[in-house]
A and B are shown apart, each in its own frame.
Chain A
Amino acid sequence: MRTYFNDLPKTALGASYWIFAVYLVLPLALMMAMSFKDANFIAFPIGNWTLSWYGKVIQDKQFLEASLYSIGIALATTISATIIGVWIALLVSAENIWGKAVIFALACLPAVVPGLINAISMRIFIRAVDIPTGTFAIILAHTVHAVPFVVIMVLTRLRSMPANLVDAARDLGADPFIAFLRVTIPYLMPALFGGMIFCVLTSIDDFVRTFFLGGYQPTLPMLIFAKVQGGMSPEINAMATIVLVVTTAVGLYAEHFTRRSRS
């Protein structure tokens, strides 16, 4: 009895973890299950199973266009956020830079500012400087949001980099640029890769910024939102399931890659 009592915190922790896991997975599982239901409304029991909703989604031109649009925005965001993020990380990690803390704080600000506030302020800003809503404005907002994650990941990696590595490259005949390209960048690769995947995923996932800054062409979240307003249907579930599976696969691969290259 006594030992059982001593183990209680541990038991309780274990049990509550499993409750949490169920709470986490069950809605996703339900959503996925409903996408196979052979009826155009969402309710139990499922009855007949079908793949027809997936067939419909894959042939849905709107869905394909929105997917490509989202991917395009995600790639543009990733490229610009990575360049800016690496640049800021290098700046902050340099030895004699005045106002280091301020630069770092400013770069990280978008990570803590609520998305809605961020979106509204960006909307006001683009109107003030006469940038039209649409693709460019969306990429601008997504980039601002993604930069802090790149900065933090790259900075963490940079700080673990032996200072002598760049010195060794310089010593062997590399000018500063070659040393950066052939030693610093490869050393940063795991962090860069992780940061880039993170940029892609946040960009594809973003709704609120896109909502305020987008034009007429819908991104994937916008399309799903529009369809939901017309009523839930297994077709939306199928779309959501495809997005879920693809993003999870990308995320897991990134995690695997980062872990392997660190060891």
Chain B
Amino acid sequence: MQPVVHFKNVNKSYGALTAVDDLDLAIAPGQFVTLLGPSGCGKSTTLRMLGGFDSPTSGEIYLEGKPISHLPPNRRNVNIVFQDYALFPHLTVGRNIAFGLELKGMESAAIHKRVSDLLALVSLQDHAERMPAQLSGGQRQRVALMRALAPDPNVLLLDEPLSALDAKLRQQMQIELKSIQKKTGKTFIFVTHDQEEALTMSDVIVVMNKGRIEQMGGPDELYARPRSRFVANFIGQSNFLEGTVASVSGGIASVEWRGNAVNADVNGTAPIPGDHVTVALRPEAVFCLSRKPEDRQSLKGRIDQRVFKGAHTSLTVKLDNGSTLEAQIDPVALSHIEGDDVWVGWRDRDAVLLAK
């Protein structure tokens, strides 16, 4: 399938600062794609270049196969939802949404119909005559979304649109955004620095760092199979074990780590014995037992810190090999207290080798 958006070798620099570094990104139509990364990673610049508010220093952007880098924002069939919504304060909600339609030369009866359909989609039918200043944050958010959807763009761009909302409303809007995306079948490109937001809504997450793509994939894939230390750390939490590969068999590497042999999935890498590698291990993949298990590998340690967090309990285990490991366990399953001896381990496939 032809990608709806295609960045080909796109660079953007401001003087000596490189914001986007040789970006190659193809986005399939109808997907909810999230550009995720810390501030300054180039995700907003990427979005602004697609919207037409910044032009690439080199490279080309294609929209449905046609190069668009030379077109001004008003001649691109993409629309953007701004972080601060940017609703026109002098126009009513209805007129805000109608703005793009009027400029398209649509006749007023059709505009009226389209505006009320869109308002109905977000249950704001009664608010067409209100001014933006009379709306709550969540309502403004919805109006901005409908205004951007009104001209029927191929691709909708969303620049951290949920960051101004409080936690509860944000969660509600995440669900709503996702369902609107499904209903309309449009390609959504969503920019955020919030990994939870990205995991909740996306079909595809593009993790960016220092102007480059670190990794791209589905939320579960990125979570379970991070390729780099950056991704393993930015999405969720991880333990990092640095050691030397001893042997590899059946996609499982045995790694010499501080005098212990531990196993990890090769995770698409091709390690050879003697390689220095980093193993990423999610805290919730770690098990803690009070007796040494006979049937699987384990490491002996002592509970250094125990923090009850409601849904789970966090343990910091000081291992006999001198390092510490974070573990997340079921809060009722274990009656360990600080100072107790424990045996920790994990299933081989739950630990992954990192490529870098």
Contacts and interface: CB of A to CB of B under 8 A. Distances in A.
A174 interface: yes
Interface string B49-83: 00111000000000000000000111000111011
A167 B85 CA distance: 11
A91 interface: no
B194 interface: no
Given A183-B88, A187-B90, A169 B72 contact: no
B103 A174 contact: yes
Contact of A173 (B51, B83, B104): B104
Interface footprint category on B: 20 to 34
A173 B82 contact: no
Contacts of B148: 171-172
B90 A186 contact: yes
A178 interface: yes
B84 A171 contact: no
B103 A187 contact: no
Contact of B51 (A171, A182, A186): A171
A162 B52 CA distance: 18
B74 A173 contact: yes
Nearest to B90: A186
Interface residues of A, number: 18
Contact of B72 (A164, A165, A170): A170
A172 B89 contact: no
Contacts of A165: 86, 88
A175 interface: yes
Contact of B103 (A162, A172, A189): A172
A172 B72 contact: no
Nearest to A168: B86
Interface of A: 162, 164-165, 167-175, 178, 182-183, 186-187, 189
8 contacts: A164-B82, A164-B84, A167-B51, A171-B73, A171-B80, A172-B151, A173-B74, A186-B91
Given A168-B147, A186-B88, 10 more contacts: A164-B84, A167-B51, A167-B86, A168-B80, A171-B78, A172-B79, A172-B151, A173-B100, A178-B103, A187-B89
